Amino acid sequence: MAIVIIRQDNKIDSWKKALKANAPDIPIYSYLEEHPKEEITLACVWKQPVDSLTQYPNLKCIASLGAGVDFIFKDQSVPENIPITRVVDPVLASDMSEFVLALILNYFKNLNNYRTDQMKKVWYPQEYKRISDVTVGIMGMGALGEKLAEDLIKNRFEVIGWATSPKNIPGVEVYNGDKEKNTFLSRSNILVCLLPLTRQTTGILNNKLFKELPKQSYVINVARGGHLVDEDLLEYINNGHLAGAGLDVFHEEPLSVEHPFWTHPKIHITPHVASVSDIESVIPQLLENYGRLKEGLPLNNAVNREKGY
Ligand code: GLV
pLDDT tens for each residue of 154-203: 999 999 999 999 999 999 999 999 999 999 999 999 999 999 999 999 99
- Structural domain that includes position 14: 2-89+277-295
Residue 66 beta carbon below 6 angstroms from any ligand 1 atom: yes
Which atom in ligand 1 lies closest to the alpha carbon of residue 92?
Answer: 5
pLDDT > 70 fraction of the chain, expressed in percent and rounded = 100
* Nearest atom within ligand 1 for CA of residue 272: 2
Both 162 and 38 in a single domain? no
pLDDT for 255 equals: 98
pLDDT given at position 37:
98
The answer to whether residues 119 and 83 belong to one domain is no
The pLDDT of residue 199 is: 95
Give the span between the Cα atoms of 94 and 96, in whole angstroms. 5
Expressed in percent and rounded to 5, the helix, strand and coil fractions of the chain are 35, 20, 45
Same domain, residue pair 106 and 221: yes
Residues annotated as catalytic are 224, 272
State whether 145 and 129 are in the same domain.
yes
CATH number at residue 30: 3.40.50.720
What is the average per-residue pLDDT within 92-106?
A: 98
| Domain match, 11 and 121 both | no
> Which pLDDT tens digit goes with each residue over 114-160?
999 999 999 999 999 999 999 999 999 999 999 999 999 999 999 99
**pLDDT, position 265:** 96
State the total domains in the chain.
Answer: 2
What's this model's pTM, rounded to 2 decimal places? 0.96
Same domain? 178 vs 189: yes
Residues 111 and 27 in one domain: no
CA of 48 to the centre of ligand 1 (A): 14
Ligand 1 centroid to residue 68 C-alpha, Å: 5
Crossing angle for the helix pair 279-295 and 90-108, to the nearest 10 degrees: 150
Query: Candidates 275, 282, 301, 309: which one to mutate for ligand 1, based on the most atoms within 8 Å of Cβ?
Result: 275
